[in-house]
Amino acid sequence: MEEIINRGEISKLRREVLSKAELESEKLLEDAKQEMKDLRKKELNALKKELKEKIKDFTESEKKRAESDLRGKKQEIKAKYQHLKKELLDELVEESISRLIHANRRTKQKIYAQMIDYAVKELGGDIKELEVASQDYEIVKSLYPDAKIKKSKNLEFGIIAYGKDKGVVVNISLPHLKEELKEIILRKVVDKL
């Protein structure tokens, strides 16, 4: 019977060992599952952090690139605006000059009278000679009959007044008028803005 007891004890011992092993394996399995969860959570957090950094770097680089593109576009628009402004100003000046050149006699008389008055003031009343566009000679001669007036093929419009003192000149001819007209037009445009 001893053998049977031994077998019974062995069987009991075997069951206890198996039970303990099963409990131990369940505990190990639970611990392994928890470690896996912790490890997965840790890896996910690290991956999230890495992705956040990459997104941050990406958005910052995209932001910088977008800002750079925006600066480039602003410069391009500014350059186009300046070019258009210059073209418009040139067109306005050319239109104004065309109107001066093709104005009727009465309008030209008024304009030349103002030019001559200005030249007389600038030269202190001492005009030695006037140079005028050939097509406007008669108009100027009618305004200032006692002056020495010279026809110029080089002038389209305006006058060049020479003072009695050598080298003193008042130039109110087309090239100088263009620059003055640009300044006047710019001032008027700025005043309206």
pLDDT tens-place string over residues 38-60: 888 888 888 788 888 877 777 88
Question: Of all residues in the chain, what percent carry a pLDDT higher than 70?
Answer: 88
Q: What integer pLDDT is reported at residue 193 of this predicted model?
A: 57
Bridge partners, 151 (sequence order): 132
What are the structural domains, with CATH classification, of the chain? 104-192 (3.30.2320.30)
As given in the structure block, the two tokens for residue 105 are 């006699």
Distances from the Cα of 105 to the Cα of 14, 97, 114, 168, angstroms: 134, 15, 14, 29
User: In this structure, which amino acid lies at residue 124?
Assistant: G
Burial of 128 (0-12, 13-18, 19+ CB in 10 A): middle
Alpha carbon distance 111, 92 (integer Å) = 19
Alpha carbon distance 8, 57 (integer Å) = 71
Residue 4 pLDDT exceeds 70: no
Question: Any residues with CB less than 8 A from the CB of 128 and at least 6 apart, and which?
Answer: 148, 162, 163, 164
Residue 5 pLDDT exceeds 60: no
pTM: 0.55
Range name among 58-67, 104-113, 146-155 with the lowest pLDDT average: 58-67
Alpha carbon distance 59, 67 (integer Å) = 12
Residue 192 pLDDT exceeds 60: yes
Q: What integer pLDDT is reported at residue 1 of this predicted model?
A: 47
Summarize pLDDT for 169-180 with one digit per residue, the tens.
Answer: 888 888 887 887
Residue 22 pLDDT exceeds 90: no
Q: How far is CA 85 from the centre of its chain?
A: 14
**pLDDT, averaged across the chain:** 81
Bridge partners, 131 (sequence order): 150, 160
Alpha carbon distance 164, 170 (integer Å) = 12
